[in-house]
């Protein structure tokens, strides 16, 4: 009984810590929003770099445009949507989490769950099997 209570308390503390870590409580500033968006948009010229990392003229223009759009009151999803529509969906470094592209997020998790279940099943079988 004590073991169940201690596990329950550990789970509550873990969930509380996870919730507190994901809910910081302050709204990001315009500069923080701009940096986050610049890190999610791929440089159209450079290979494998985000707009925030690149020093190309195209990246500088996109950084200026992102800051202008934030100042105009556009949301982050509207800005990402504009660049995805204008320059193509490959311009975003983070694929969308819905539709067919959502498989990028689901397949690794499903693979992990299946592997963990297979390992658990194997351990249960080995435990039941006893040499004669």
pLDDT tens, residue by residue, 26-67: 778 888 999 999 999 999 888 888 999 989 999 999 999 999
Of 17 and 129, the structure prediction assigns the larger pLDDT to 17
The pLDDT of residue 98: 66
φ/ψ of residue 39, rounded to 5: -80, -15
Claim to verify: residue 66 and residue 43 sit in the same structural domain:
yes
Q: Which residues span the domain enclosing 87?
A: 27-94
pLDDT value at residue 24: 67
Mean pLDDT of the chain: 86
d(CA 78, CA 63): 15
Instruction: Read off φ and ψ for residue 24, nearest 5 degrees.
Output: -70, -30
Residue 59 in any domain: the answer is yes
* Residue 12, domain member (yes or no): no
28 secondary structure, DSSP code:
P
Same domain? For 58 and 68 the reply is: yes
Residues 58 and 88 in one domain: yes
Report the number of distinct structural domains present in the chain.
2
pLDDT band at residue 103, thresholds of 50, 70 and 90?
confident
pTM of the entire predicted model: 0.58
Alpha-helical segments (H) within 53-128:
57-71, 76-87, 103-128
Are 86 and 100 part of one and the same domain? Answer: no
Please state, in angstroms and rounded to a whole number, the distance separating the CA atoms of residues 35 and 14: 30
């Amino acid at each position: 009984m004590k073991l169940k209570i201690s596990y329950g308390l550990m789970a509550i503390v873990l969930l509380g810590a996870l919730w507190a870590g994901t809910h910081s409580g302050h709204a990001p500033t315009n500069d923080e929003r701009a940096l986050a968006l610049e890190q999610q948009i791929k440089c159209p010229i450079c290979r494998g770099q985000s707009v925030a990392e690149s020093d190309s003229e195209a990246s500088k223009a996109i950084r200026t445009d992102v800051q202008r759009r934030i100042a105009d009151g556009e949301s982050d999803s509207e800005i990402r949507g504009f660049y995805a529509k204008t320059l193509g969906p490959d311009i975003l470094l983070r694929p969308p989490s819905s539709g067919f592209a959502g498989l990028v997020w689901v397949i690794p998790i499903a693979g992990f769950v299946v592997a963990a279940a297979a390992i658990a099943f194997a351990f249960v079988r080995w435990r039941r099997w006893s040499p004669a």
